Amino acid sequence: MNKQGAASKYADLIHSDGVAGSLYNDPDVFQEELKKIWYTTWVYVGHESEVPNTHDFVMKSIGLEPIIMTRGKDGEINLLVNTCTHRGNKLCTKPKGNARSFTCPYHSWTFASDGRLLGQAYPDGFKNVDKADLALGRVPRVASYGGFVFGSFAEEGPSLEEHLGGAKETIDRLLANSPSGEIEVTTGYLKHKVKGNWKLLVENETDGYHPGFVHASVFMVSDSRINELYGDKSTSLSRDYGNGHTEIDLRPEFRKRGEELSWFNTNKERLPEYVEQMKAAYGDEKARQIMIDGTPHVMIFPNLFIAEIQLFVIEPISVSETVQHVTAIQFKGSPDINRRLRQQTMGSVGPAGFLLADDSVMYERTHQGLKTRTGYRTYTGRGNHRERLDEDGYLVGDSTDDLPSRGIWKHYKSLMEAGK
Amino acid sequence: MSLAEINYSLLREVEQFLYLEARLADENRYRDWEALWADDGIYWVPANSGDIDPELEMSIIYDNRSRISVRVNQFLSGKRFAAQPEIQVRRVVSNVELLQDAGEEVRVGSNAIYFVSGETDDEMWGSRNEFTLRRVDGEFRIVRKNVVLVNAAKALPNLAFLI
């Protein structure tokens, strides 16, 4: 299909107030997404704190591609394709660890933690072979922002900072909530599988319309106050940063309350060490403002969701299957708040989570619903009459509006129409 | 505990308790199931492996007694969508062994296989379970229930029944 044809295909499927159901379940669309999104744009891979020491490694992925994230002996982070260059065997089978080298169990080829081919078994059999040609495949562009490591399979393209654009500020906001200015990923992952297309998850992460309904049971049985944040009367905002990044900005509601740590459903008295650390780090007034505002609720396209207290990494498995990897955010050096971050994360997310099990059943039912052969089209026009620009020039709407979905699809369309 | 030391009447009693706990869970008798717990009960289903420290790493379930109540209340709220329509479960509990008999408290190990029929799919789950039981007014109460899933290291679907 020529470029013109590709453009008109997506123009037929993606509209400003709804999209075709086939985009969620056409295997050809999924293959095209792998090429034009997952293997082109910046994709979140892992956090620097997951490989703190030289030769540390952790298994990750970009799209369907298995990746080993390593810290080489030069201290730099490498994103290597976890496939032996000899016959394609899976090289590393341990989820994480520390290793100077990886030896393929099939024919014993050995690679350094920076991907160089170190040795081949029975070396006399290799004449005129340049080992450099048989190094592990590597993600050509690796960059990090605030400790978040991203990779792009495109040799050229926008820088990571250009890609993140306005969403950079949400990562700054997250880090500001840590007295040390750093977060860590140290608590392992909950891996939660759903039979639904990955975009259903991306859209739901900043859908502020559903919490009052899907999560009504949580408001009924606990002292959660999140229904105030996502109701019809909420002053929270939805925001489109462009490049597919969207957020629900809850600060207007938290500022109305004006209580430190209300964003975390707790108070100063219950986390005294953290509060003292914040004051020492930022001074009383700035610490107070940060602790009122709290951490962000932002979906960094296509796969990193910073959900106030936890990180979600969205891994597409097939057109109809997705895994969400979830871990508690930890503020480096702040044990009292970290304990609460872990406890609250475990309660709310994962296969048995008070929130995520209910989201996941919605993903699965929605995925089934979108399979209908009647040419189904979603409706994403809620709030399009009240879109406005904020002081920084980003589109904002009410927290329950479909504005984030519209932003995600607009960017998606531009990616799918671009390229070959 | 060697075979010669086994207190068979205690073993029978413990087995009957495990079967009761299993049946109440199978039949979604949430309140009756909750009543089996001691006031300081801990319900633990680790993620990734049974070797993790639940105080430091993520677990699928790591409930203290008050969170067990929240879990039960959520099931009973009528809006726990992940468990609607009602999930049908039958489990077989076997390989019951007394691991430690410390008088007031007994530690017991077992294996369990679950056949789970949800809204769309039928699933098999399997686990190694360890209970710590305490006698309270002549009845066993659960002080600790550890459920280590055979496939804990893998990505798992919703777990929206009492395992």
What value of ipTM does the predicted structure carry?
Answer: 0.96
Which residues of chain B lie closer than 8 angstroms to A338, CB-CB? none
Average pLDDT for residues A409-420, to the nearest whole number?
A: 91
pLDDT of A63 above 60: yes
pLDDT of B9 above 70: yes
CATH class of the domain defined by B3-149: alpha beta
Residue B103 pLDDT grade (very low, low, confident, very high; cuts 50, 70, 90): confident
Chain B (61-90) residues lying within 8 Å, Cβ to Cβ, of chain A: 61-63, 67, 70-71, 73-74, 77-82
pLDDT for A369 equals 95
Average pLDDT for residues B115-130, to the nearest whole number?
A: 96
- For chain B, the domains span 3-149
User: With an 8 Å Cβ cutoff, are A354 and B71 in contact?
Assistant: yes
- Amino acid identity, residue B107? R
pLDDT for A1 equals 45
Average pLDDT for residues A159-178, to the nearest whole number?
A: 98
Average pLDDT for residues A137-145, to the nearest whole number?
A: 98
Residue A341 pLDDT grade (very low, low, confident, very high; cuts 50, 70, 90): very high
The chain B residue lying nearest A347, using CA atoms, is B61
pLDDT tens digits, one per residue of B76-101: 999 999 999 999 999 999 999 999 99
Give the Cα separation of A360 and A127 in Å (integer): 54
pLDDT tens digits, one per residue of A322-339: 999 999 999 999 999 999
- In chain A, CATH 2.102.10.10 covers 43-152
Residue A373 pLDDT grade (very low, low, confident, very high; cuts 50, 70, 90): confident
User: With an 8 Å Cβ cutoff, are A364 and B80 in contact?
Assistant: no
Residue A7 pLDDT grade (very low, low, confident, very high; cuts 50, 70, 90): low
User: With an 8 Å Cβ cutoff, are A190 and B62 in contact?
Assistant: no
pLDDT for B4 equals 77
**How many angstroms away from the CA of A351 is the closest CA of chain B?**
4
Which of the following CATH numbers is that of domain A43-152: 1.10.10.10, 1.10.1040.20, 2.102.10.10, 2.40.50.140? 2.102.10.10
Average pLDDT for residues B71-78, to the nearest whole number?
A: 98
User: With an 8 Å Cβ cutoff, are A188 and B47 in contact?
Assistant: yes
User: With an 8 Å Cβ cutoff, are B160 and A193 in contact?
Assistant: no
Which of the following CATH numbers is that of domain A167-417: 3.30.70.20, 1.25.40.10, 3.90.380.10, 1.50.10.20? 3.90.380.10
Residue A258 pLDDT grade (very low, low, confident, very high; cuts 50, 70, 90): very high
pLDDT tens digits, one per residue of A269-317: 999 999 999 999 999 999 999 999 999 999 999 999 999 999 999 999 9
Residue A420 pLDDT grade (very low, low, confident, very high; cuts 50, 70, 90): low
Residue A4 pLDDT grade (very low, low, confident, very high; cuts 50, 70, 90): low
Residue A228 pLDDT grade (very low, low, confident, very high; cuts 50, 70, 90): confident
pLDDT for A196 equals 98
pLDDT for A372 equals 83
pLDDT of A3 above 60: no
pLDDT tens digits, one per residue of A11-48: 999 999 999 999 999 999 999 999 999 999 999 999 99
- In chain A, CATH 3.90.380.10 covers 167-417
State percent of chain A over pLDDT 90. 93
Average pLDDT for residues B101-120, to the nearest whole number?
A: 95
